[in-house]
Amino acid sequence: MYRVRVNVSGHAREYFPAERLGAWIELSEPCPVARILAGWSVSPELVMAVFIDGVKAGLESVAPNGAEILIVTPPAGG
């Protein structure tokens, strides 16, 4: 089984499923970060940056099994 942990930083955190954040997610196969977000009905427009195990990545990056993914959302303001 393929497992990753997803955390979100930033004010748009409220648009992500709270019960999934910080928890291990089991998927049937490795997939891009964008596909994980699509499965949660989260728009990629809410993502400013992606880090996989502390290394800058992108929405099309595929995290290795056991990796930690950090999604950074844009800062609030106006």
Q: Look at residue 50 and tell me whether its pLDDT is greater than 70.
A: yes
55-57 and 2-9 as β-strands: parallel, antiparallel, unpaired? unpaired
pLDDT confidence of residue 10: 85
Residue pointed to by tokens 């595929």: 62
pLDDT confidence of residue 78: 54
Specify the pTM. 0.88
What residue segments make up the domains of the chain, in order of their start?
2-72
The CATH number corresponding to 2-72 among 3.30.450.40, 3.90.1150.10, 3.10.20.30, 3.30.930.10 equals: 3.10.20.30
pLDDT, tens digit, for every residue of 2-39? 999 999 988 877 878 877 778 899 999 999 999 999 98
Say how far apart CA 34 and CA 21 lie, in whole Å.
16
